Amino acid sequence: MAYLRTAEGRAALDEVAGYQLTDASLIAEISSARARFGERAGVLVETVRLRRRASAKLRDAAGWLFTDEALQQATATPVAEHRARRLAGAVVHDVTCSVGTELAALRDTAQLAVGSDIDAVRLAMAEHNLGLRGESVLLCRADALRPVTADTVVVADPARRSGTRRRFDPRGYLPPLDDLIGVLAGREYVVKCAPGIDFDAVRRLGFDGEIEVTSWAGSVREACLWSRGLSPSGVHRRAAVLDTGEQFTDGEPDDCPVRPAGTWIVDPDGAVVRAGLVRQYAVRHGLWQLDADIAYLSGDRLPPGIRGFEVLDTLPYHERRLRQALSDRGVGAVEILVRGLDVDPDVLRSRLRLRGSSQATVILTRLGTGRAGRATAFICRPSR
C-alpha cells in the first residue's frame, strides 16, 4: 500500500485507470500491466477496479484506497451523511472506522471526530483517504471492545461478512453485538446493523433505544441502533427514506382504517415496511390499508413524488383467469408484485405466456384471514 501513496504509484494508477478492465479485456490488460509494472500490476488493477465500484455508493472517492471487503462494508455516502446530520455538534468516536467512509461525513458536522480500527492497513487507508485536514479528525489504532475515549458518542459498524458469507446472528458480528452493547453500557452510541436483523433479538441483548431503518436509491441499506439519549422520548422505531427526505416514527398517529381498494394502490418504501411503520405512513399520506396484516395501502389520490398503481381491474386470483384478463387487455409485459401469497413472480410470468403489446402491473395479495381470506389480483397501471 505504501507504493500506491507515492508519486510513482499515483502515476501508475492514473495509467491503469485508462484501461477498460471489462470481462472481455481483463486478461489482456492484466498481461499488459504486468509487462509495464511487474509484480505491482495486481494491486494496481485491483485498486482501479475497486475505485470504479466505489463510485456507485461513495462520493468524491476517486483517489481512495480500499480492500474488497472494506468496500463491501462501506456505508454509502448519503446514508453516512444522514447519520452525521443527526450527530451534528457532538464529539464522535468511530471505533470501527475502516477506510474512513463514516469519518468523511462526520468531520463536516461533528465538533470533533475520532477514528480507530484494529486493522493497521485499513487505518493507513483511512489516513490517505481523508487527507486529514488539521485536527478535524484524529486517528489511532485500537480494539472497539477496549474504549480509548470517554464522553464521546461512539459509532460502530461491526463486520457482518466473513469473506463472501454473511453473518446473520448478531452475536456472530465482529465485534459481537452483545459484547459491543455491554461495553458501551452507560454511554451514547450508534451501531450499524444488517437491515434484516431481528428486532426482538436486539431487545433481548439489552438494547432499549431506537432502531432506525434507512433506505436509499430504492433499497433498504441498514438498521441502525441509537442509544436512548440520542433519540426523542418515546421513539423506538424510525424509518428514514433518503430518496424523499421523509422520516416516520412509532411516536406518530397510526389510526389507519382498513377498506377496499380505491383509485390507487401504494407499496410503501422498504424502510417503512421493515420498521413496521406502514400505518403511520398511511395516516400521514391520507391512505388506508387493504388488509390489517398486509403492507399494501390504497387511496383515491396519489401522494406527491410516490410511485403508485392505478387500479384497472380487481379479480379473485386464479392463474387461468388472470391470464385471460391480461390477454383481453393486450398485455404482453407485466410487473408482478406479491405479498401474503406463496407465488414466485418470475415463475408466474413465464407461465402466463403473454403475447400482447401493452404493459401492466399485477399486484397479488391475500385479503382477510382464515376462511374469509381470499387471494386477490389487482391489474394496475403504474404511475411511472
Asked whether residue 163 carries a pLDDT value surpassing 90, the answer given is no
pLDDT class of 131 with cuts at 50, 70, 90: confident
Q: Are residues 116 and 242 in the same domain?
A: yes
What whole-number percentage of the chain has pLDDT above 70? 97
Please give the pLDDT value at position 273.
97
Domain termination residue (choose one: 218, 246, 274): 246
Mean pLDDT of the chain: 93
Average pLDDT over residues 336-341: 96
59 inside domain: no
| Closest by CA position to 190, among listed 75, 43, 298, 280 | 75
Q: Are residues 271 and 128 in the same domain?
A: no
Average pLDDT over residues 174-187: 94
CA distance 97 to 102: 7
* Domain coverage including residue 26: 3-53
Q: Are residues 189 and 323 in the same domain?
A: no
The pLDDT tens digits of the residues spanning 290-328 come to: 999 999 999 999 998 899 999 999 999 999 999 999 999
The pLDDT tens digits of the residues spanning 37-56 come to: 999 999 999 999 999 999 99
CB 87 within 8 A of CB 153: yes
Q: Are residues 19 and 142 in the same domain?
A: no
Q: Are residues 41 and 76 in the same domain?
A: no
Average pLDDT over residues 158-182: 81
Average pLDDT over residues 154-168: 77
Please give the pLDDT value at position 369.
79
Q: Are residues 18 and 128 in the same domain?
A: no
- Name the residue type at position 9: G
Lowest-confidence pick of 77-91, 97-111, 137-151, 164-178: 164-178
257 inside domain: no
Average pLDDT over residues 49-66: 93
CA distance 177 to 220: 20
Please give the pLDDT value at position 161.
64
Number of domains observed in the structure of the chain? 3
Asked whether residue 162 carries a pLDDT value surpassing 90, the answer given is no
Q: Are residues 157 and 284 in the same domain?
A: no
What whole-number percentage of the chain has pLDDT above 90? 87
Asked whether residue 166 carries a pLDDT value surpassing 90, the answer given is no
Q: Are residues 239 and 271 in the same domain?
A: no
Angle, CA 378 vertex, CA 376 and CA 383 arms, to 5° = 155
Average pLDDT over residues 334-352: 96
The pLDDT tens digits of the residues spanning 192-240 come to: 999 999 999 999 999 999 999 999 999 999 999 999 999 988 899 999 9
61 inside domain: no
Burial tier of 125 (Cβ tally within 10 Å: 0-12, 13-18, 19+): buried
Asked whether residue 107 carries a pLDDT value surpassing 60, the answer given is yes
Q: Are residues 281 and 373 in the same domain?
A: yes
CA distance 140 to 383: 51
Please give the pLDDT value at position 133.
54
89 inside domain: yes
The pLDDT tens digits of the residues spanning 256-290 come to: 999 999 999 999 999 999 999 999 999 999 999 99
pLDDT class of 60 with cuts at 50, 70, 90: confident
Q: Are residues 276 and 340 in the same domain?
A: yes
